[in-house]
C-alpha cells in the first residue's frame, strides 16, 4: 500500500433544460483524516478543477511527509 493515499468518488449526471446541464458531486478524503470534503460542479471544467485540486493536495501531503 502507498504511504499517502486518498479516495475520490465522482457522481455525475445531466439535468436537461438547464443552462449548465452537466452536474457533479465529488466526495474526497485522504488517509488519516476523519472528514470528507464534498464539492459540487456544474460543468466539465469545474469537475476537472476539483480533481486537480484533490490531486495537488495528495502530492503536497507526500512532500510534507518526506515520502
| Cβ-based neighbours of 51, under 8 Å, separated by 6 or more | 8, 10, 26
Angle (CA) 35-4-36 rounded to 5° is 15
Burial of 43 (0-12, 13-18, 19+ CB in 10 A): middle
Query: For a pLDDT cut of 70, what percent of the chain falls above it?
Result: 88
Q: pLDDT tens for residues 32-50?
A: 778 999 999 999 999 999 9
Question: So what's the pLDDT on residue 65?
Answer: 63
Q: What is the pLDDT of residues 1-22, one digit of tens each?
A: 467 889 999 999 999 998 889 9
> What is the model's pTM?
0.79
For residues 51 and 35, the answer to whether their CB atoms sit within 8 Å is no
Amino acid at each position: 500500500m502507498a504511504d499517502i493515499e486518498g479516495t475520490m468518488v465522482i457522481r455525475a449526471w445531466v439535468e436537461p433544460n438547464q443552462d449548465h446541464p452537466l452536474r457533479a458531486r465529488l466526495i474526497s478524503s485522504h488517509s488519516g483524516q476523519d472528514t470528507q470534503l464534498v464539492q459540487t460542479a456544474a460543468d466539465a471544467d469545474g469537475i476537472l478543477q476539483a480533481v486537480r485540486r484533490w490531486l495537488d493536495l495528495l502530492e503536497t501531503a507526500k512532500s510534507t511527509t518526506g515520502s
